[in-house]
Every structure is written in C-alpha cells, then in structure tokens.
Amino acid sequence: MLVLSNEEISELLNMPDCMAVLEEAYQDLAAGRALYSLGRDNLAPCGREDAYYAFKHTGGTWPSRRIQALRIKSDIISHPFVEGTQCRVKLPLAGGRWVGLILLFSTETGELLSIFPDGVAQRMRVGGSSGLGIKYMARTDARTLALFGAGWQAGSHLMAALAARPIQEVKVYSLRRESRESFAREAAARYGISVRAVDSPEECAEGADIILAATSSMVPVIKPEWLKEGVHIGFIKPQEIDGVVLDRCDRVVVHVNDKSQPDNVVTGTPAVFKNSGWWQEEKYRMEKFPNLADLISGRVPGREKAGDVTCFYNNDGLGLQFAAVGSLILAQAEARGKGNDLPREWFTESVHP
C-alpha cells in the first residue's frame, strides 16, 4: 500500500496529462462505463462562534483503470471579510495544517492501493476540468486571459488555460495587491509570457478573450457587462457571478447537473454565511443545463459561432475525478519509485467482515 505526499505528487503531475486523463474519464462516464457518488456536507459546531465543522466524502469508480477512489474532507470553515469582501476560508487548525485524504482501491482485488493528501490532486482536477471547458468552448484564437484570484486554485486555472489555448497575455486581479503582484511575477517567470497584476476588476476584464474566476469570494466577481461578443467565462463557486451573467450567455455547461442535495446540519451550527442566491431559482437549476460529460462526448455542442458568449460553471466535484487523477498519480509513482510502501496486511483482514 503506497503512501504519497503532496510534495511527491507535485513532481508527478502536469496539467496536460491531467486534462487528458480527465477527458478519458468523462468519455467513459458519458458511455456508462464509469460511476460517481455525489458529495454532501455534514455541518456541525466546532467550538467557535465564527466557524463550523464540515465533513464530506465522495467516490468514483473507473473500471477501465481498475480504480475506485474515495475522497474525504474534514474542515473547519469560516467566512471572514477580506478588504471588505466576505470570503470562504478553511482554517489550518490541525497543527497549522489542513485535513483531506484520497484513498485508491483496486476494483480487481478490493484492496487499498494508496493513500495521499488531497491538496495537489484537488487543485489539478479542478483546474483540469475548467481547462476542458476552455478546450471545448473558448474561441480557438483566444489569446488573452483575465484571471480573478491569486491563490492555490487560480494557479491551476492559469496552467489549464495555457494548456488549452496559446495564451499570450494574462491580467490578474485579486483583493490584496501584494498577492496579485507576487502571483504575476512568479507566473511570468515560470511561463515566459506577459502576466500583469492590475488594480481594478474592470481593467482585468477589459479586452479579455477568456475570463476565469477562481477565488474565495462569496460575492460576485464577474459582471454581466463584461460579457462581450465571443468571450468565454468560467468560475468555480456560484457566488462568483449573479444570474444575469448566465442570462447573457449563449451556451452554459455545468460540471455536474444532478439534482443537488441539501447539507446535513446539526442544530446549533453557527450560521456565519447565508447560503442562498440565484442558484436556487427554478430557471437556474443545474439539471436544466448540460454537463461536461455531455459536452466532451459530443451530445451537446460547445461554441457554435465565433461571436457566442460561452460559460463553463465548474460547480460540484466528482469522485470520478479523483479516480482519474489518482490513477495517473499511482502509475507515475510506481514508474518513478516515489512514495513509501506499507504492508498490505495492515489494511486487509483475515476475518470475514
């Protein structure tokens, strides 16, 4: 049974490979050759008035790679105000660290194959899915990117945009000046293209072929008036837009269009944020939109005309994504001798359960 660290996984993954394996998994999902289970948060008090405990697990079965994945999150979440904007923040209270795990099982023997933290795999699967939205929906001549956010997920969305289109210019906006300027410097040095931090959201969006939001914001960051002819937009949280943005789009594809399940909430859990908005209106219910598997399999078109305004909402995660990226991690780790092996006897049993 192989144990891997985030640092080792960072050395094993690149965005083009992640997008390729995710694309294959979505094709199998569309053909009925793969499965996933929807996640649902269990929310409870955590001993603080400004935060709450959140537990979620989600799984995915991918028989063609002989992999079953289970992703577990155990978080303490708060909603502080940053530069006057309410954000969603996971607190690193486990000795200054966070808690999230991925377990990979064999669909041939049932045994546990690997355990590793979810941070890097999570980052790459979210960015990779948004990158597939760009691949299938953005104009082929898209060259300029407006990126809202300068954190962990914003970094993977930049990787994905560069993998999907020959981007030549990137503008970055986030609430903290020092964060966006640091992000821009590092990205420009790493990718050898123009990456510029700007001082206003409007300047960031002006003239962009692709607008991506990957933030912790709980208020809209993409405005409907920015949706000029031919633009593609993508975002990862419903709060990053309002319903008028969707109304302005010619084609909207969501990551998951299964009917969402309400959170399980223990009485007394602090209500530090009211989870309501456009996504609860009947005309915006997710089941009304095609999903990414529909798009990749060709069941629905992406961009039909150069002037179309297209949108990919990378809403809920799928356990199948972790089976896909996990299978890539496991194959790369075995080929390159990464990780630490533990005896399988520790994770199997001699009695009939």
Query: How many domains does the chain divide into?
Result: 2
CATH number of the CATH domain containing 101? 3.30.1780.10
**325 vs 10: CA distance, rounded Å:** 12
Q: What is the pLDDT of residue 111?
A: 97
Q: Are residues 177 and 44 in the same domain?
A: no
**pTM to 2 decimals?**
0.95
Residue 296 included in any domain:
yes
Mean pLDDT, the chain, rounded, equals 96
Residue 80 included in any domain:
yes
CATH number of the CATH domain containing 283? 3.40.50.720
Residues 201 and 168 sit within 8 Å (Cβ to Cβ): no
Residue 349 included in any domain:
no
Q: Are residues 58 and 183 in the same domain?
A: no
Q: Are residues 156 and 89 in the same domain?
A: no
Q: Are residues 220 and 287 in the same domain?
A: yes
Q: What is the pLDDT of residue 177?
A: 97
Residue 281 included in any domain:
yes
Q: Are residues 304 and 224 in the same domain?
A: yes
**227 vs 210: CA distance, rounded Å:** 10
Segments in the chain below pLDDT 50 = none
Q: Are residues 96 and 141 in the same domain?
A: no
Q: Are residues 18 and 41 in the same domain?
A: yes
- Concatenating the DSSP letter of every residue in 109-161 gives T--EEEEEESHHHHHHHHHHHHHHHHHHHS-TT--EEEEE--SHHHHHHHHHH
Q: Are residues 92 and 139 in the same domain?
A: no
Residue 25 included in any domain:
yes
Q: Are residues 68 and 191 in the same domain?
A: no
**236 vs 334: CA distance, rounded Å:** 32
Q: Are residues 204 and 57 in the same domain?
A: no
**160 vs 312: CA distance, rounded Å:** 13
In this structure, what token pair is assigned to residue 136?
Answer: 């299938």
Q: Are residues 157 and 132 in the same domain?
A: yes
Which domain range does residue 215 map to?
Answer: 126-260+274-313
Residue 112 included in any domain:
yes
Residue 351 included in any domain:
no
Q: Are residues 192 and 284 in the same domain?
A: yes
Residue 269 included in any domain:
no
Q: In this predicted model, what pLDDT tens digit does every residue of 194-216 receive, in sequence order?
A: 999 999 999 999 999 999 999 99
Q: In this predicted model, what pLDDT tens digit does every residue of 10-51 receive, in sequence order?
A: 999 999 999 999 999 999 999 999 999 888 899 999 999 999
